[in-house]
Amino acid sequence: MDKSQLMKGILEGCILKIIDKSETYGYEIVVKLQENGFQDVREGTLYPLLLRLEKKKLISATYKPSPLGPNRKYYVLTRDGRDYLDSFLKSWKEICISVNQIFYIENMKEERI
């Protein structure tokens, strides 16, 4: 199964949630994603998604000094980004309920027969 399209939308929502918690930069987002089960996510996957979110005006970025070298690009959510995140969470909950019904509730019914 090609997970890339499915993962792209899910990752966008997760990235927005991470940024919503606090202003952050790309590498830190990658680490948080990996710590939470997205081990396959690399910076090469993340930066195109951040650029797309920035073009959609869901996040904004500013460069700030880094203690380790060149300036870092820090991201924050915009008002539209918060609205999108709220919508994403609502849709995600609805999808989870539907998928769980099909995969788990139906299986429990079949087991009782």
Under the banding of pLDDT at 50, 70 and 90, the label for residue 83 is very high
H helix intervals, 1-113: 4-21, 26-35, 43-55, 79-100, 106-112
Mean pLDDT (whole number) for 74-92: 97
pLDDT digits (tens, 9 = 90+) for 34-43: 999 999 899 9
72/62 Cα distance (integer angstroms): 8
> If DSSP codes are grouped into helix, strand and coil, which group holds residue 58?
coil
pLDDT digits (tens, 9 = 90+) for 2-54: 677 778 889 999 999 999 999 999 999 999 999 999 998 999 989 999 999 99
10/4 Cα distance (integer angstroms): 10
Topology at the third CATH level for domain 4-112: Arc Repressor Mutant, subunit A (1.10.10)
What strands lie across the sheet with 24-25, from one edge to the other? 24-25, 69-77, 59-66
